[in-house]
């Protein structure tokens, strides 16, 4: 078989990251609407805001692809193999993650650059962030006090945890498909990935669902909707279909080609 270096993935990752970083950088310029808004604020910021949301989904798909490409052919049935895989994952990202989390906590202190005092809930939430648990508790009111972008790693970590149990079923489900069958399965996963966010969108409009959501979180409707939006956005099971789409694409590429390496 031949060898191919998939440098396109690195190139796409660069542009996706640039979109995300730019969207966060210009957030202070954001003006949602109005004829008086400058062109940069009205058009460029609006595009970045929308595209950055799509880029987050792309990263979950890409994560599934790279995990399946690198590990699908390895034995993941034993606890020894799983523990070895998890240790390698932690060693690759956690030191940098830990440093960024601690730095973010310090910078957000009122004595440094923060604008609010840390209460008990905020401190608790930041500790959850250090041990990679915040994605299960994004509905907490203190969620905004942590290093904002770190939620992504907290969510992705749990998808990595699930990967050893997903590898064999995904390989079995997608390796022998016809093109039509494969496409239909991917479309079904895509539709499934939209369901949680459809619920969030429904709760954004006045009505029974929005009122129930406020009762659930025990706060006003606007605050409750904001918490629901972040709860769904970071909840690992809600991101699972995107991750599996990436895994399925990797299985498909390996099945229909002789690609053996990813560059």
For the stretch 4-26, pLDDT in tens is 455 667 677 777 777 777 766 66
Confidence tier at 258 by pLDDT (50, 70, 90): low
Average per-residue pLDDT for the chain: 79
Tokens coding 98:
């830990």
Q: In angstroms, rounded to a whole number, what is the distance separating the alpha carbons of residues 161 and 85?
A: 9
Query: In the chain, where are the structural domains located?
Result: 7-256
Q: In angstroms, rounded to a whole number, what is the distance separating the alpha carbons of residues 214 and 77?
A: 44
Q: In angstroms, rounded to a whole number, what is the distance separating the alpha carbons of residues 223 and 116?
A: 18
Q: For the whole model, what pTM was predicted?
A: 0.82
């Amino acid at each position: 078989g031949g060898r191919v270096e998939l440098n396109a993935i690195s190139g796409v990752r660069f542009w996706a990251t640039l979109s995300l970083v730019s969207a966060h950088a210009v957030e202070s310029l954001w003006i949602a609407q109005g004829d008086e808004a400058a062109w940069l604020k009205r058009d460029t910021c609006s595009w970045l805001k929308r595209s950055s949301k799509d880029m987050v989904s792309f990263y979950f798909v890409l994560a599934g692809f790279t995990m399946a490409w690198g590990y699908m052919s390895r034995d993941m049935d034993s606890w020894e193999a799983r523990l070895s895989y998890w240790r390698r994952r932690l060693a690759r990202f956690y030191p940098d993650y830990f440093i960024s989390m601690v730095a973010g906590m310090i910078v957000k202190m009122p004595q440094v650059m923060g604008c609010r005092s840390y209460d008990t809930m905020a401190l608790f939430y930041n500790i959850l962030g250090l041990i990679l648990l915040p994605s299960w508790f994004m509905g907490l009111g203190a969620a905004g006090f942590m290093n904002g972008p770190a939620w992504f790693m907290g969510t992705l970590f749990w998808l990595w945890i699930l990967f050893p149990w997903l590898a064999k079923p995904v390989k079995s489900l997608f390796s022998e498909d016809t093109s039509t069958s494969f496409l239909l399965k991917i479309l079904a996963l895509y539709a499934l990935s939209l369901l949680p966010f459809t619920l969030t969108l429904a709760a954004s409009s006045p009505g029974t669902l929005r009122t129930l959501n406020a009762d659930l979180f025990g706060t006003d409707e606007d605050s409750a909707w904001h918490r629901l939006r972040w709860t769904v956005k970071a909840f690992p099971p809600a991101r699972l279909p995107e991750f599996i789409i990436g895994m399925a694409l990797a299985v498909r590429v390996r099945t229909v080609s002789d690609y053996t390496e990813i560059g």
